[in-house]
Amino acid sequence: MTRQVVVIAGPSGSGKNVLIAEIVRRHPNCTRLVTVTTRAKRPGEQEGKDYHFFSQERFDKERASGNIPEHRFVPGLGTYYGTYLPDLEKKIAQGKTVFAQVDIEGARLLKKRYDATTIFIMPESIGQFKKRLRARSPEWSHEEFEERMRITEEELRVHAPQYDYRVMNADGMLGETADDVVAILRKEGYTLA
């Protein structure tokens, strides 16, 4: 059976979204898993494209029915995010290679259920990553920035080694990083057409 699920993970600001978008742009058979969230839709976001936007009540109901087998709560935002199986199953049935951007719990679930290949996107260095994160989110307070860096350092130390592959995404090297990921997936038997 062809493998169809790929996990792309990494710290906030590591370039996961642009990397997935680049691979999907190059390979029409690839698509992105659309996760579910309880947060409000932001200007320009589209239901079913950016996220599935659920009320807390619907989120709880879908979770109880098994459609959201893995989720996380972000206390600072009061928001839930989760893996939405109906979206994933529909894309698998269409023969797509599905890229899921999830955390370590989501990676474990998708590895177990779908034999997903898990890839952790690494920054070139902590110094370079700090500059990228600061430039990307200048509105963050010093405390919020330091908390993000603490989480990043923990992810690099504790979570990254648990993934099948670790791929560096240096500034200005998106094309090369996408090439590296595609090479891994071809080796692992994915159809990227």
Instruction: State the first-to-last Cα distance of the chain, in angstroms, to the nearest integer.
Output: 16
- Burial track 54-84 (b if 16+ CB lie within 10 A, e otherwise): beeeebeebbeeebbebbeeeeeeeebbbbb
Percentage with pLDDT > 90 across the chain: 63
Helix (H) or strand (E) holding 72: strand 71-74
What are the sequence ranges of the domains in the chain? 5-33+96-187, 34-82
| Beta strands 97-100 and 5-9, pairing class | parallel
Asked: is 5-33+96-187 a CATH 3.60.110.10 domain? The reply is no
Asked: is 34-82 a CATH 3.90.1150.10 domain? The reply is no
Residue 1 has what pLDDT? 58
* Sequence-distant (≥ 6) Cβ neighbours of residue 65 within 8 angstroms: none
Report the alpha-carbon distance of residue 32 to residue 88 in Å, rounded: 9
Query: What does pTM read for this prediction?
Result: 0.88
Task: Give the other-Cβ count within 10 Å of 153's Cβ.
Answer: 13
Q: What is the pLDDT of residues 2-57, one digit of tens each?
A: 799 999 999 877 889 899 999 999 999 999 999 999 999 988 999 999 899 999 99
* Sequence-distant (≥ 6) Cβ neighbours of residue 50 within 8 angstroms: 34, 41
Residue type, 13: G
